[in-house]
Amino acid sequence: MGATVAFLPSCVYRQDQVHMQLKHLQINPDQEKLLASLADEIIPATQTPGATDLGLHFFALKMVDDCYDSVGRDQFMSGFKAFAENRSADNALTLEKAAADQKMAGFVNGYRSLIVRGYKQSEYYMTKVVPYKLVPGGYKGCIPVTAAATT
């Protein structure tokens, strides 16, 4: 009974909660949706999956939460909050306009960098776009070695 009671809350999904637990960052579901839409502005879905399809906004949040120091996390969140406030006041605010603003530039450039890094490290990119080969070229042991190849 005790294990069931402890396990049950993790099985309940509510629309008003974030999809990922973070140790240092505090975000709400609306902020999570905004980050997802920004990720889709950076890498939109075309014939290939977009950033949200690959969950890259979760990658960026996890990287900021785990790998940034407290100063970096604070700068990221203050830039994000400034962006969110300006975006709600002016729906035409784009990432390019925000990058020109001193207060939001660090967030925009850092977030863009994390989204692109996550895309290039995703399983989709490594298997479909640029197939990763552990060792370049195949081994062909049955080819005789010529004198020109040994010098």
Domain residue limits, the chain: 2-137
Question: What confidence score (pLDDT) does residue 133 get?
Answer: 72
Residue-wise pLDDT for 112-142, tens only, equals 999 999 999 999 998 899 877 776 667 777 8
**Distances in whole angstroms, Cα of residue 5 to Cα of each of 14, 29, 45:** 17, 25, 40
**Distances in whole angstroms, Cα of residue 46 to Cα of each of 27, 74, 100:** 28, 34, 27
Confidence of residue 2 (pLDDT cuts 50, 70, 90): low
pTM of the model: 0.75
**91 backbone dihedrals φ, ψ, rounded to 5°:** -65, -15
Question: What confidence score (pLDDT) does residue 131 get?
Answer: 79
**Distances in whole angstroms, Cα of residue 88 to Cα of each of 1, 85, 92, 128:** 47, 5, 9, 37
Residue 105 and residue 78 in contact, taking contact as beta carbons nearer than 8 Å: no
Question: What confidence score (pLDDT) does residue 6 get?
Answer: 53
Residue-wise pLDDT for 53-109, tens only, equals 999 999 999 999 999 999 999 999 999 999 999 888 877 788 888 888 888 999 999
